[in-house]
Amino acid sequence: MFLAFKEMARAKVRFALLIAAIALLVFLILFQQSLQNGLITGFIGAIREQSAPVLVYSVDGQRVLQGSVITPAMEEQIRAAPGTGEVGLIGQGTFTGLPSGNADGESFDTTIIGYELGPDGSGIGSPTNVIEGRLPVADDEAVVSDADVRLGYDIGDTVTLLPGGKTIEIVGIAANAQLNVAPTLFASYDTYLDAVASVNPDAGTPLPNVLGVIPADGFTPAQAVASINDQSLDLDALTRDDAAAETPGVAQVQQSFNIIFLLYGLVVPCVTGLFFLIVTFQKANSLTLLRAIGAPAGRLVSSLLIQVVVIVGAGLALGTLLYYPLSQGALGGIALDFETGAVIFWSVLLLTLGLVSSLVAARRVLAIDPIEATTGQGVGS
């Protein structure tokens, strides 16, 4: 260990530059991870965080909440399917909302998800992770996603729908409950119908977009899905997780980011391994001398690996420190969070890859023959 730190002290700039390069890569990886998760949560968080274990779309809706329409005949088939327990109507629309809490008087495209209220405000399709305030218990009340509070959608604020002037009061905040990366309100189904009538009085009463289903006793969500889909080719039932994951665009976003992460994961071990391989060549004569005077190969290799652990560890720590303040804010309409799991995963992975890649340099150390070293031959020959 003394040898490792002594060498690092003699070449501070060289090792500091490597730490800075690794820190920058770690920062970029973690930022991209937060950006991916924030983007996906902004797209389909409301689907993941609602209470219905099964969502039933129309096939024509192509698994887009607002694009689906459930006709009375479809609803009858769903209710009659074996495995169907409780059923709730869910409607979704996009409106121009003017939040009273926005100091600039700015309006936003606002998503309203309407579900049938229970006595305590819960219901099939209600948000499951209210972190402040309460669920709506009456019409014209709503829960908003936590990502929208900074836009003026806070508890006690009202949202005025334009045109029409209908107002909705915000009574609760739910975590990670956005849809389509836009301000999202969970309200009663009647509030949703009133919002449609307010904005477009000639639209008539809209049909529900999807039905939320709680499986009957003895049925799992997957079994209820299979039973409902067997009723008609026009029905597209999905479990809650599948409905979120198979929303159009989600898989493509994940695939694009996975390619970026793969490239990042290859760069760090390549940079680390190449650096120590070059360093080993540069100090070939000193390594030869150490082997000639009896320094064990294991001690030289352990010194090299200690340097790898220190350098990669310092890069990981510095990159995480740079990432932390950025993860507490938002980028455009995308809320960012500190991804603890991602920090642990990438720290373990990058440290492991760094050590493995440095084994090439370690082989150069092990290849030094003390006998050849005394005759002027060694790794530098």
DSSP letter at 171 equals E
What are 294's two structure tokens? 């009896």
CA-CA distance, 286 to 288, in Å (whole number)? 5
CA-CA distance, 286 to 6, in Å (whole number)? 13
Sequence-separated (6 or more) residues with CB below 8 Å from residue 53: 213, 214, 215, 221, 224, 239, 240
DSSP string, 302-335: HHHHHHHHHHHHHHHHHHHHHHHHHHTSEETTEE
Helix (H, G, I), strand (E, B) or coil at 250: helix
What are 297's two structure tokens? 């190969």
What are 40's two structure tokens? 């996906």
DSSP letter at 106 equals -
DSSP string, 74-95: HHHHHHHSTTEEEEEEEEEEEE
DSSP bridge pairs for 94 = 111
DSSP string, 10-47: HTHHHHHHHHHHHHHHHHHHHHHHHHHHHHHHHHHHHH
Calculate the CA dihedral of residues 61, 65, 66, 70 and round it to 10 degrees. 60
User: pLDDT truncated to tens, each residue of the chain (381 aa)?
Assistant: 555 566 666 667 777 887 888 888 888 888 888 888 888 888 889 999 999 999 999 999 899 998 999 999 999 999 999 999 999 999 999 999 999 988 888 999 999 999 999 888 889 999 999 999 999 999 999 999 988 998 899 999 999 999 888 999 999 999 989 998 889 999 999 999 999 999 988 878 899 999 999 999 999 999 999 999 999 999 999 999 999 988 888 878 888 888 888 887 777 677 766 766 666 666 656 666 666 666 676 676 777 778 778 888 888 999 999 888 887 776 666 777 788 888 898 888 878 877 777 777 667 666 666 665 555 554 444
Do 230 and 45 form a contact (C-beta atoms < 8 A)?
no
pLDDT of residue 380: 47
CA-CA distance, 34 to 334, in Å (whole number)? 10
pLDDT of residue 379: 46
CA-CA distance, 332 to 13, in Å (whole number)? 38
What are 362's two structure tokens? 């370690």
pTM of the model: 0.76
DSSP letter at 134 equals -
Residue-level length of the chain: 381
Helix (H, G, I), strand (E, B) or coil at 215: strand
Q: Which of 49, 47, 333 is nearest to 173 (CA)?
A: 49
DSSP string, 120-181: TS--TT-BS-EEEE----STTEEEEEGGGGGGT--TT-EEEEETT--EEEEEEEETT--BTT
CA-CA distance, 327 to 253, in Å (whole number)? 20
Do 93 and 196 form a contact (C-beta atoms < 8 A)?
yes
